[in-house]
Structure 1
Amino acid sequence: MADGFSTAAFYTVAMMVVSYLICGIPFGKILTRVMTHKDIQAEGSGNIGTTNALRVAGPKVAALTLAFDLLKGMVCVMFFRDVVVAGNSWAPDVSTDVMVALVALAALYGHIFTPYLKFHGGKGIATGVGILFGFAWPLALIHLAIFIVLVAITRYVSVGSIVTAAVVPLTVHIMFPALNPIALAIWALLGWTVVWAHRGNIARLRAGTESKLSFGSKKEA
Protein backbone atom coordinates (compact mmCIF):
# COMPACT_ATOMS: atom_id res chain seq x y z
CA MET A 1 0.00 0.00 0.00
CA ALA A 2 2.68 2.47 1.06
CA ASP A 3 4.83 1.69 -1.96
CA GLY A 4 1.84 2.13 -4.28
CA PHE A 5 0.98 5.47 -2.71
CA SER A 6 4.59 6.64 -2.94
CA THR A 7 4.77 5.73 -6.60
CA ALA A 8 1.52 7.57 -7.32
CA ALA A 9 2.74 10.60 -5.38
CA PHE A 10 6.01 10.64 -7.32
CA TYR A 11 4.27 10.50 -10.71
CA THR A 12 1.73 13.11 -9.66
CA VAL A 13 4.26 15.60 -8.28
CA ALA A 14 6.55 15.13 -11.27
CA MET A 15 3.72 15.78 -13.71
CA MET A 16 2.49 18.73 -11.65
CA VAL A 17 5.90 20.37 -12.02
CA VAL A 18 6.06 19.61 -15.75
CA SER A 19 2.51 20.89 -16.31
CA TYR A 20 3.19 24.03 -14.30
CA LEU A 21 6.25 24.83 -16.41
CA ILE A 22 4.62 24.01 -19.75
CA CYS A 23 1.41 25.89 -19.03
CA GLY A 24 3.43 28.81 -17.73
CA ILE A 25 4.70 29.52 -21.26
CA PRO A 26 3.19 32.98 -22.07
CA PHE A 27 2.17 32.39 -25.66
CA GLY A 28 0.21 35.65 -25.82
CA LYS A 29 3.30 37.68 -25.00
CA ILE A 30 5.57 35.64 -27.26
CA LEU A 31 3.25 35.72 -30.27
CA THR A 32 2.48 39.43 -29.90
CA ARG A 33 6.18 40.24 -29.69
CA VAL A 34 7.15 38.04 -32.66
CA MET A 35 4.27 38.97 -34.96
CA THR A 36 3.72 42.66 -34.14
CA HIS A 37 6.84 43.72 -32.16
CA LYS A 38 4.56 44.98 -29.40
CA ASP A 39 4.67 44.24 -25.67
CA ILE A 40 1.22 42.93 -24.73
CA GLN A 41 1.90 43.67 -21.06
CA ALA A 42 2.49 47.35 -21.84
CA GLU A 43 -0.72 47.89 -23.81
CA GLY A 44 -4.43 47.44 -23.30
CA SER A 45 -5.17 45.79 -19.98
CA GLY A 46 -1.64 44.39 -19.72
CA ASN A 47 -3.03 40.86 -19.61
CA ILE A 48 -1.35 38.16 -21.72
CA GLY A 49 -4.56 36.34 -22.63
CA THR A 50 -6.68 36.12 -25.77
CA THR A 51 -8.88 39.16 -25.17
CA ASN A 52 -6.00 41.56 -24.73
CA ALA A 53 -4.14 39.93 -27.63
CA LEU A 54 -7.18 40.75 -29.77
CA ARG A 55 -7.11 44.37 -28.61
CA VAL A 56 -3.36 44.85 -28.97
CA ALA A 57 -2.33 42.63 -31.87
CA GLY A 58 -5.47 41.73 -33.80
CA PRO A 59 -7.50 38.59 -34.57
CA LYS A 60 -4.67 36.46 -36.01
CA VAL A 61 -2.50 36.75 -32.90
CA ALA A 62 -5.57 36.36 -30.69
CA ALA A 63 -6.60 33.15 -32.46
CA LEU A 64 -3.11 31.69 -32.13
CA THR A 65 -2.93 32.71 -28.48
CA LEU A 66 -6.27 31.03 -27.82
CA ALA A 67 -5.18 27.86 -29.61
CA PHE A 68 -1.84 27.53 -27.85
CA ASP A 69 -3.23 28.39 -24.40
CA LEU A 70 -6.01 25.86 -24.86
CA LEU A 71 -3.73 23.15 -26.22
CA LYS A 72 -1.13 23.41 -23.46
CA GLY A 73 -3.74 22.69 -20.80
CA MET A 74 -5.39 19.92 -22.79
CA VAL A 75 -2.16 18.12 -23.67
CA CYS A 76 -0.81 18.10 -20.10
CA VAL A 77 -3.99 16.70 -18.55
CA MET A 78 -4.71 14.27 -21.38
CA PHE A 79 -1.16 12.90 -21.35
CA PHE A 80 -1.27 12.33 -17.60
CA ARG A 81 -4.75 10.80 -17.64
CA ASP A 82 -4.42 8.61 -20.75
CA VAL A 83 -0.72 7.68 -20.65
CA VAL A 84 0.57 7.86 -17.08
CA VAL A 85 -2.56 7.00 -15.10
CA ALA A 86 -4.08 4.57 -17.59
CA GLY A 87 -0.75 2.89 -18.25
CA ASN A 88 -0.09 1.83 -14.65
CA SER A 89 -1.70 -0.46 -12.11
CA TRP A 90 -2.35 1.48 -8.92
CA ALA A 91 -2.80 0.26 -5.37
CA PRO A 92 -6.37 0.27 -3.97
CA ASP A 93 -5.57 3.22 -1.68
CA VAL A 94 -4.59 5.45 -4.62
CA SER A 95 -7.25 7.80 -5.99
CA THR A 96 -6.50 8.49 -9.63
CA ASP A 97 -9.28 11.11 -9.55
CA VAL A 98 -7.22 13.15 -7.10
CA MET A 99 -4.04 12.62 -9.13
CA VAL A 100 -5.63 14.00 -12.30
CA ALA A 101 -7.25 16.91 -10.45
CA LEU A 102 -3.91 17.93 -8.92
CA VAL A 103 -2.19 17.93 -12.31
CA ALA A 104 -5.07 19.98 -13.74
CA LEU A 105 -4.70 22.50 -10.92
CA ALA A 106 -0.94 22.76 -11.47
CA ALA A 107 -1.52 23.37 -15.18
CA LEU A 108 -3.94 26.20 -14.45
CA TYR A 109 -1.64 27.76 -11.86
CA GLY A 110 1.22 27.63 -14.35
CA HIS A 111 -0.77 29.87 -16.67
CA ILE A 112 -2.10 32.27 -14.03
CA PHE A 113 1.13 32.42 -12.00
CA THR A 114 3.68 31.92 -14.77
CA PRO A 115 7.25 31.65 -13.48
CA TYR A 116 8.51 33.27 -16.69
CA LEU A 117 6.82 36.64 -16.02
CA LYS A 118 7.42 37.04 -12.28
CA PHE A 119 4.25 35.02 -11.56
CA HIS A 120 1.96 37.43 -13.42
CA GLY A 121 0.11 35.50 -16.10
CA GLY A 122 -3.30 35.24 -17.73
CA LYS A 123 -6.71 34.77 -16.21
CA GLY A 124 -7.04 31.09 -17.05
CA ILE A 125 -10.10 30.78 -19.28
CA ALA A 126 -8.50 29.36 -22.44
CA THR A 127 -6.13 27.12 -20.50
CA GLY A 128 -8.97 26.14 -18.17
CA VAL A 129 -11.15 25.06 -21.09
CA GLY A 130 -8.20 23.13 -22.48
CA ILE A 131 -7.81 21.39 -19.13
CA LEU A 132 -11.49 20.42 -19.25
CA PHE A 133 -11.05 19.04 -22.78
CA GLY A 134 -8.14 16.95 -21.49
CA PHE A 135 -10.24 15.71 -18.59
CA ALA A 136 -13.61 15.14 -20.29
CA TRP A 137 -14.48 16.76 -23.62
CA PRO A 138 -18.29 16.80 -23.06
CA LEU A 139 -17.68 18.81 -19.88
CA ALA A 140 -15.53 21.26 -21.84
CA LEU A 141 -18.22 21.70 -24.49
CA ILE A 142 -20.78 22.50 -21.80
CA HIS A 143 -18.55 25.23 -20.37
CA LEU A 144 -17.71 26.54 -23.81
CA ALA A 145 -21.42 26.79 -24.58
CA ILE A 146 -22.09 28.64 -21.31
CA PHE A 147 -19.29 31.08 -22.13
CA ILE A 148 -20.42 31.73 -25.71
CA VAL A 149 -24.07 32.24 -24.78
CA LEU A 150 -23.31 34.65 -21.96
CA VAL A 151 -20.84 36.69 -24.03
CA ALA A 152 -23.33 36.82 -26.92
CA ILE A 153 -26.09 38.04 -24.60
CA THR A 154 -24.11 40.49 -22.47
CA ARG A 155 -21.14 41.33 -24.74
CA TYR A 156 -19.01 41.05 -21.61
CA VAL A 157 -16.20 38.50 -22.00
CA SER A 158 -15.69 38.74 -18.26
CA VAL A 159 -19.27 37.69 -17.48
CA GLY A 160 -18.93 34.54 -19.57
CA SER A 161 -15.54 33.82 -18.04
CA ILE A 162 -16.60 34.32 -14.42
CA VAL A 163 -19.81 32.32 -14.62
CA THR A 164 -18.37 29.36 -16.52
CA ALA A 165 -15.50 29.17 -14.02
CA ALA A 166 -17.75 29.52 -10.97
CA VAL A 167 -19.94 26.56 -11.92
CA VAL A 168 -17.06 24.10 -12.47
CA PRO A 169 -17.68 22.16 -9.22
CA LEU A 170 -21.38 21.92 -10.04
CA THR A 171 -20.92 20.60 -13.57
CA VAL A 172 -18.15 18.22 -12.51
CA HIS A 173 -20.35 16.83 -9.73
CA ILE A 174 -23.32 16.41 -12.07
CA MET A 175 -21.27 14.60 -14.70
CA PHE A 176 -19.20 12.55 -12.23
CA PRO A 177 -21.35 12.02 -9.10
CA ALA A 178 -19.05 9.24 -7.84
CA LEU A 179 -15.93 11.42 -8.05
CA ASN A 180 -13.68 11.39 -4.99
CA PRO A 181 -14.75 14.34 -2.74
CA ILE A 182 -11.13 15.53 -2.48
CA ALA A 183 -10.88 15.58 -6.26
CA LEU A 184 -14.13 17.54 -6.46
CA ALA A 185 -12.75 20.06 -3.95
CA ILE A 186 -9.65 20.48 -6.13
CA TRP A 187 -11.80 21.08 -9.21
CA ALA A 188 -13.75 23.66 -7.20
CA LEU A 189 -10.49 25.38 -6.28
CA LEU A 190 -9.50 25.37 -9.95
CA GLY A 191 -12.71 27.06 -11.05
CA TRP A 192 -12.82 29.56 -8.22
CA THR A 193 -9.18 30.52 -8.80
CA VAL A 194 -10.21 31.66 -12.27
CA VAL A 195 -13.00 33.70 -10.67
CA TRP A 196 -10.41 35.23 -8.31
CA ALA A 197 -8.21 36.07 -11.30
CA HIS A 198 -11.13 38.14 -12.62
CA ARG A 199 -11.49 40.17 -9.41
CA GLY A 200 -10.64 43.37 -11.27
CA ASN A 201 -13.35 42.65 -13.82
CA ILE A 202 -15.82 41.95 -11.03
CA ALA A 203 -15.05 45.31 -9.45
CA ARG A 204 -15.56 47.08 -12.79
CA LEU A 205 -18.81 45.20 -13.44
CA ARG A 206 -20.13 46.31 -10.05
CA ALA A 207 -19.05 49.89 -10.75
CA GLY A 208 -20.54 49.85 -14.25
CA THR A 209 -17.19 50.65 -15.86
CA GLU A 210 -16.40 47.29 -17.45
CA SER A 211 -15.89 47.53 -21.23
CA LYS A 212 -18.01 45.43 -23.53
CA LEU A 213 -16.50 43.32 -26.28
CA SER A 214 -15.36 45.63 -29.04
CA PHE A 215 -12.67 45.07 -31.65
CA GLY A 216 -11.79 48.73 -31.55
CA SER A 217 -11.36 49.14 -27.81
CA LYS A 218 -8.04 48.96 -26.06
CA LYS A 219 -9.62 47.97 -22.80
CA GLU A 220 -10.15 44.38 -21.88
CA ALA A 221 -13.71 43.21 -21.59
Structure 2
Amino acid sequence: MVMDYLKILSMFILGYLLGSLNSSLLVGKVYGVDVRKHGSGNAGATNTLRTLGKKAAVFVILGDALKGVLACLIGSLLVGNNGLMVAGIGSIVGHNWPLYFKFKGGKGVLTSFAVALMMDWKVALILFAIFAIVVAISKYISLGSIIGAALFPVAAYIHKSDDKLYLVIAVIFAFLIILRHRSNIKRIVQGTESKFGKKKTA
Protein backbone atom coordinates (compact mmCIF):
# COMPACT_ATOMS: atom_id res chain seq x y z
CA MET A 1 0.00 0.00 0.00
CA VAL A 2 2.79 2.41 0.92
CA MET A 3 4.61 1.59 -2.32
CA ASP A 4 1.45 2.32 -4.30
CA TYR A 5 1.17 5.77 -2.72
CA LEU A 6 4.86 6.42 -3.38
CA LYS A 7 4.40 5.48 -7.03
CA ILE A 8 1.45 7.85 -7.36
CA LEU A 9 3.39 10.63 -5.63
CA SER A 10 6.36 10.06 -7.94
CA MET A 11 4.05 10.37 -10.95
CA PHE A 12 2.77 13.71 -9.67
CA ILE A 13 6.34 14.96 -9.19
CA LEU A 14 7.34 13.74 -12.65
CA GLY A 15 4.33 15.49 -14.18
CA TYR A 16 5.09 18.65 -12.21
CA LEU A 17 8.68 18.78 -13.46
CA LEU A 18 7.53 18.32 -17.07
CA GLY A 19 4.79 20.90 -16.64
CA SER A 20 7.29 23.40 -15.26
CA LEU A 21 8.81 23.62 -18.75
CA ASN A 22 6.61 26.60 -19.61
CA SER A 23 6.49 26.89 -23.40
CA SER A 24 5.62 30.59 -23.60
CA LEU A 25 8.55 31.51 -21.38
CA LEU A 26 10.95 29.26 -23.30
CA VAL A 27 9.76 30.64 -26.66
CA GLY A 28 9.94 34.14 -25.20
CA LYS A 29 13.61 33.60 -24.38
CA VAL A 30 14.26 32.97 -28.09
CA TYR A 31 12.64 36.33 -28.86
CA GLY A 32 14.31 38.00 -25.88
CA VAL A 33 10.89 38.79 -24.40
CA ASP A 34 9.28 37.76 -21.12
CA VAL A 35 5.59 37.60 -22.02
CA ARG A 36 4.70 38.02 -18.34
CA LYS A 37 5.81 41.64 -18.69
CA HIS A 38 3.50 42.35 -21.63
CA GLY A 39 -0.18 42.24 -22.47
CA SER A 40 -2.24 40.45 -19.84
CA GLY A 41 0.90 39.29 -18.04
CA ASN A 42 -0.09 35.65 -18.43
CA ALA A 43 2.50 33.07 -19.50
CA GLY A 44 0.24 31.33 -22.00
CA ALA A 45 -0.59 30.95 -25.68
CA THR A 46 -3.15 33.78 -25.89
CA ASN A 47 -0.80 36.37 -24.44
CA THR A 48 2.04 35.01 -26.59
CA LEU A 49 -0.15 35.50 -29.67
CA ARG A 50 -0.85 39.10 -28.70
CA THR A 51 2.76 39.81 -27.73
CA LEU A 52 4.92 37.81 -30.18
CA GLY A 53 2.59 36.82 -33.00
CA LYS A 54 1.13 33.68 -34.58
CA LYS A 55 4.33 31.73 -35.18
CA ALA A 56 5.43 31.98 -31.56
CA ALA A 57 1.91 31.11 -30.38
CA VAL A 58 1.89 27.91 -32.48
CA PHE A 59 5.09 26.71 -30.79
CA VAL A 60 3.57 27.49 -27.39
CA ILE A 61 0.39 25.59 -28.20
CA LEU A 62 2.37 22.55 -29.31
CA GLY A 63 4.70 22.71 -26.32
CA ASP A 64 1.95 23.13 -23.73
CA ALA A 65 -0.06 20.26 -25.20
CA LEU A 66 2.94 17.97 -25.65
CA LYS A 67 4.11 18.16 -22.05
CA GLY A 68 0.64 17.16 -20.83
CA VAL A 69 0.56 14.23 -23.25
CA LEU A 70 4.07 13.10 -22.30
CA ALA A 71 3.28 13.26 -18.58
CA CYS A 72 0.18 11.11 -19.11
CA LEU A 73 1.99 8.60 -21.33
CA ILE A 74 4.82 8.14 -18.85
CA GLY A 75 2.38 7.90 -15.94
CA SER A 76 0.33 5.30 -17.81
CA LEU A 77 3.35 3.21 -18.77
CA LEU A 78 4.82 3.20 -15.27
CA VAL A 79 1.75 3.01 -13.03
CA GLY A 80 -1.35 2.59 -15.19
CA ASN A 81 -4.48 4.71 -15.56
CA ASN A 82 -4.19 6.24 -12.08
CA GLY A 83 -0.62 7.23 -12.88
CA LEU A 84 -1.82 8.81 -16.12
CA MET A 85 -4.32 11.05 -14.33
CA VAL A 86 -2.06 12.01 -11.44
CA ALA A 87 0.91 12.77 -13.71
CA GLY A 88 -1.46 14.83 -15.84
CA ILE A 89 -2.59 16.90 -12.87
CA GLY A 90 1.07 17.32 -11.93
CA SER A 91 1.84 18.76 -15.37
CA ILE A 92 -0.98 21.29 -15.01
CA VAL A 93 0.22 22.39 -11.57
CA GLY A 94 3.75 22.66 -12.99
CA HIS A 95 2.52 24.83 -15.84
CA ASN A 96 0.68 27.14 -13.45
CA TRP A 97 3.46 27.34 -10.87
CA PRO A 98 6.68 26.35 -12.71
CA LEU A 99 9.67 25.39 -10.61
CA TYR A 100 12.10 26.76 -13.20
CA PHE A 101 10.43 30.19 -13.56
CA LYS A 102 9.96 31.36 -9.96
CA PHE A 103 6.51 29.71 -9.77
CA LYS A 104 5.00 32.32 -12.11
CA GLY A 105 3.36 30.44 -14.97
CA GLY A 106 0.24 30.36 -17.09
CA LYS A 107 -3.35 29.31 -16.57
CA GLY A 108 -3.03 25.72 -17.73
CA VAL A 109 -5.88 25.58 -20.25
CA LEU A 110 -3.99 23.98 -23.14
CA THR A 111 -2.15 21.53 -20.92
CA SER A 112 -5.43 20.70 -19.15
CA PHE A 113 -7.13 20.02 -22.48
CA ALA A 114 -4.29 17.71 -23.56
CA VAL A 115 -4.54 15.81 -20.28
CA ALA A 116 -8.35 15.64 -20.56
CA LEU A 117 -7.93 14.11 -24.04
CA MET A 118 -5.58 11.50 -22.64
CA MET A 119 -8.01 10.69 -19.82
CA ASP A 120 -11.12 10.43 -22.02
CA TRP A 121 -11.19 11.96 -25.49
CA LYS A 122 -15.00 11.90 -25.74
CA VAL A 123 -15.49 14.08 -22.66
CA ALA A 124 -12.62 16.33 -23.74
CA LEU A 125 -14.15 16.94 -27.17
CA ILE A 126 -17.54 17.76 -25.64
CA LEU A 127 -15.86 20.32 -23.39
CA PHE A 128 -13.94 21.74 -26.35
CA ALA A 129 -17.20 22.13 -28.29
CA ILE A 130 -18.69 24.04 -25.33
CA PHE A 131 -15.55 26.19 -25.16
CA ALA A 132 -15.75 26.96 -28.89
CA ILE A 133 -19.44 27.89 -28.74
CA VAL A 134 -18.93 30.22 -25.77
CA VAL A 135 -15.95 31.91 -27.44
CA ALA A 136 -17.83 32.26 -30.74
CA ILE A 137 -20.74 33.96 -28.98
CA SER A 138 -18.90 36.05 -26.38
CA LYS A 139 -15.45 36.51 -28.01
CA TYR A 140 -13.96 35.84 -24.57
CA ILE A 141 -11.42 33.00 -24.61
CA SER A 142 -11.24 33.17 -20.83
CA LEU A 143 -15.02 32.76 -20.46
CA GLY A 144 -14.97 29.72 -22.73
CA SER A 145 -12.18 28.22 -20.64
CA ILE A 146 -13.99 28.91 -17.36
CA ILE A 147 -17.33 27.49 -18.48
CA GLY A 148 -15.70 24.46 -20.11
CA ALA A 149 -13.74 23.76 -16.93
CA ALA A 150 -16.78 24.25 -14.67
CA LEU A 151 -18.72 21.68 -16.70
CA PHE A 152 -15.93 19.08 -16.59
CA PRO A 153 -17.08 17.53 -13.27
CA VAL A 154 -20.65 17.40 -14.60
CA ALA A 155 -19.57 15.67 -17.81
CA ALA A 156 -17.30 13.33 -15.86
CA TYR A 157 -20.14 12.34 -13.53
CA ILE A 158 -22.52 11.66 -16.42
CA HIS A 159 -19.95 9.67 -18.39
CA LYS A 160 -17.96 7.91 -15.64
CA SER A 161 -19.82 8.13 -12.35
CA ASP A 162 -18.25 4.85 -11.18
CA ASP A 163 -14.67 6.13 -11.52
CA LYS A 164 -14.10 8.04 -8.29
CA LEU A 165 -10.55 9.16 -9.08
CA TYR A 166 -11.66 10.48 -12.47
CA LEU A 167 -14.36 12.53 -10.75
CA VAL A 168 -11.89 13.88 -8.19
CA ILE A 169 -9.42 14.80 -10.95
CA ALA A 170 -12.22 16.56 -12.88
CA VAL A 171 -13.07 18.66 -9.82
CA ILE A 172 -9.38 19.54 -9.34
CA PHE A 173 -9.16 20.53 -13.05
CA ALA A 174 -12.12 22.86 -12.70
CA PHE A 175 -10.81 24.38 -9.48
CA LEU A 176 -7.33 25.04 -10.92
CA ILE A 177 -8.58 26.69 -14.11
CA ILE A 178 -11.18 28.84 -12.37
CA LEU A 179 -8.63 29.80 -9.70
CA ARG A 180 -6.15 30.94 -12.35
CA HIS A 181 -8.85 32.98 -14.13
CA ARG A 182 -9.87 35.09 -11.13
CA SER A 183 -8.54 38.29 -12.70
CA ASN A 184 -10.31 37.46 -15.97
CA ILE A 185 -13.60 36.96 -14.15
CA LYS A 186 -13.20 40.39 -12.54
CA ARG A 187 -12.45 42.01 -15.93
CA ILE A 188 -15.42 40.28 -17.58
CA VAL A 189 -17.73 41.63 -14.87
CA GLN A 190 -16.21 45.11 -15.32
CA GLY A 191 -16.41 44.87 -19.12
CA THR A 192 -12.65 45.38 -19.57
CA GLU A 193 -11.65 41.87 -20.63
CA SER A 194 -9.95 41.67 -24.06
CA LYS A 195 -12.05 40.02 -26.76
CA PHE A 196 -10.62 37.49 -29.19
CA GLY A 197 -9.75 39.02 -32.56
CA LYS A 198 -9.91 42.59 -31.29
CA LYS A 199 -6.91 44.72 -30.46
CA LYS A 200 -6.87 46.97 -27.44
CA THR A 201 -7.28 50.64 -28.13
CA ALA A 202 -5.44 53.34 -26.24
TM-score by length of structure 1 reads 0.84
Is 1:161 matched up with 2:156? Answer: no
2:78 aligns to what?
84
Is 1:57 matched up with 2:52? Answer: yes
5+ unaligned residues in a row in structure 2: which ranges?
none
Is 1:42 matched up with 2:26? Answer: no
Superposed CA deviations along residues 147-199 of structure 1, whole A, max 9, x for unmatched, are 1111111110111011011111111111212112x542232022111111000
How far off its partner does 1:120 sit?
1.3
| Higher RCO (C-alpha 8 Å, min separation 6) | 1
Contact 1:101-1:187 at 8 Å conserved across structures = no
1:199 is aligned, of 171, 182, 198, to 182
Contact 2:98-2:104 at 8 Å conserved across structures = yes
Q: Whose radius of gyration is greater, 1 or 2?
A: 1
Which whole-Å CA distance do the structure 2 matches of 1:37 and 1:24 have between them? 19
Q: How high is the sequence identity, in percent, across the aligned residues?
A: 31
2:122 aligns to what?
138
Superposed CA deviations along residues 9-50 of structure 1, whole A, max 9, x for unmatched, are 12111111111010111110111221x322211111111101
Contact 2:69-2:114 at 8 Å conserved across structures = yes
Corresponding residue pairs, total: 202
1:148 is aligned, of 116, 124, 132, to 132
AA of the residue aligned to 1:84: L
Runs of at least 4 residues off by over 6 Å: none
TM-score by length of structure 2 reads 0.92
1:11 aligns to what?
7
Contact 1:28-1:65 at 8 Å conserved across structures = yes
5+ unaligned residues in a row in structure 1: which ranges?
87-95
